[in-house]
Amino acid sequence: MHQNANEECHELSPTPESATSSSIEAEEQMALQAHFYRKLKKAITNKDVDACVSNYRGLEKAGGKDLNVTESSTLIELFVKADLAEDAVAVTERMLMREAYPLPRIFRFLLNRLAAQGQVEAMSRIGSYLTPKIKKEVSFDNRLCNGYLAAGRAEDYLQVLIIELDEASSQGIDDEKLQILKDKFPRGGAMGLLESNPALVVPYTEMALKFVNFGYVAPVNVLWTYHFINGRHDLAQPLWDQFVRTCPQIMFQKVCQTARSTANIDLAERLVKLLEDAVVTNGARGIAYSCLLDVLTRNKDFSRGLSCVNEGLQSGILLEDINRTALKRLKEGVEAMGVDFPYQVPQKSSTASSIINGNDDFMDEDHSSIRSATPMLN
């Protein structure tokens, strides 16, 4: 009996030959991993997309080590530029699984491309790995909203926002829950929801007014902007009077964009008048005056432009509050009429107001906001 047990143990013990074979296989596997890793790094350096694809897939199959953040980010960028979104997402998810993140510029580049293609499922998978802080840093929810818009699913996204708000309301909203809802609200993308389908205006309005009950006015601010730029002042004015005018953070850059792109003098003038009675700084009012000057200059109404500068200065704003490019164009137009321009255009400055005036990222980020104390840049 004892002898049989020894024989059984002997039979289960690895033979020297099998141990050697396993060791060889492990060495071969490591050599294969090293081979794909070296080839992949070279392909990344050479920006050889085809070689990147084949060697990355080979490395994954061989179970090789992960690339570092810079290498992974460069690989993601190459895949996105080559329209290989699926591969770019795979690299990104592999990074996120180990709590590493692509470089911010490249991460945004990937998310923008996915949003443009309406790949909301892939974006949602990526979003499941992100903390609220990271989501805010890359404007994830704005980009996800844009993805739903591109996919023709604006109603679906609005429903998600409404359901989340209703669920939070039924459970009782504390400061932490409210902040999460605020961070998730796509201030840059919400305008697209309204513009995509007029039928969404009613449910959006109901949602925005619910947010107001919790002290969050941004959704109503977007609604006001939507009605205001479309000339529905009968709907816009009550929203302005009741909610927006006294808001500590007013978003109106979309109004400026629309006025400039359509050369709409009436829209720009209405904005200037509204802000005279709003809780905003002179710097914010200077942004509106800059918009009006741009529109008047485009319409070659230089005399009216000069009058607007005079009116603005009399109302308390400074020349430094007005975009110097707008002033320079007006000055050139006035002098071309043979009239002296009575003001000295200020020297270049890095003030917040001048930065906002030149900002083109409103639909992407939240650069459209103007605080009552100082202009806000995110």
Q: Where are the domains of the chain?
A: 25-129, 245-378
Gap between the Cα atoms of 200 and 194, Å rounded = 6
CA 35 to CA 372: how far, in whole Å? Answer: 60
Taking the C-alpha atoms of residue 315 and residue 285, their distance in angstroms, rounded to an integer, is: 10
Distance CA 189, CA 374 (A): 24
Instruction: Give the tokens for residue 30.
Output: 């490591």
> What's the one-letter identity of residue 53?
V
The per-residue pLDDT for 20 is 60
Phi and psi at residue 359, to the nearest 5°: -80, 130
Q: How far apart are CA 148 and CA 142, in angstroms?
A: 10
Give the 3-state DSSP-derived string for the chain, with helices as H, strands as E and coil as C: CHHHHHHHHHHHCCCHHHHHHHHHHHHHHHHHHHHHHHHHHHHHHHCCHHHHHHHHHHHHHHCCCCCCHHHHHHHHHHHHHCCCHHHHHHHHHHHHHCCCCCCHHHHHHHHHHHHHCCCHHHHHHHHCCCCHHHHHHCCHHHHHHHHHHHCCCHHHHHHHHHHHHHHHHHHCCCHHHHHHHHHHCCCCCHHHHHHHCHHHHHHHHHHHHHHHHCCCCHHHHHHHHHHHHCCCHHHHHHHHHHHHCCCCEEECHHHHHHHHHHCCHHHHHHHHHHHHCCCCCHHHHHHHHHHHHHHHHHCCCHHHHHHHHHHHHHHCCCHHHCCHHHHHHHHHHHHHCCCCCCCCCCCCCCCHHHHHHCCCCCCCCCCCEEECCCECCC
Q: Which two tokens stand for residue 135?
A: 């989501």
What's the token pair of residue 323? 């975009």
For residues 138 and 146, is the Cβ–Cβ distance under 8 A? Answer: no
Q: Two tokens at 234?
A: 């009968």
What is d(CA 42, CA 218) in angstroms, rounded to the nearest whole number?
A: 48
> What stretches in the chain show pLDDT beneath 70?
1-29, 31-32, 62, 64, 350-378
Cα–Cα distance list, 277 to 65, 180, 280, 285, 323 (Å) = 62, 32, 9, 10, 21
Residues 6+ apart with CB under 8 A from 81: 49
pLDDT computed for residue 356 by the predictor:
39
Contacts of 96-99 with C-beta under 8 Å, sequence gap 24+, read 96/126, 96/129, 96/130, 97/129, 98/66
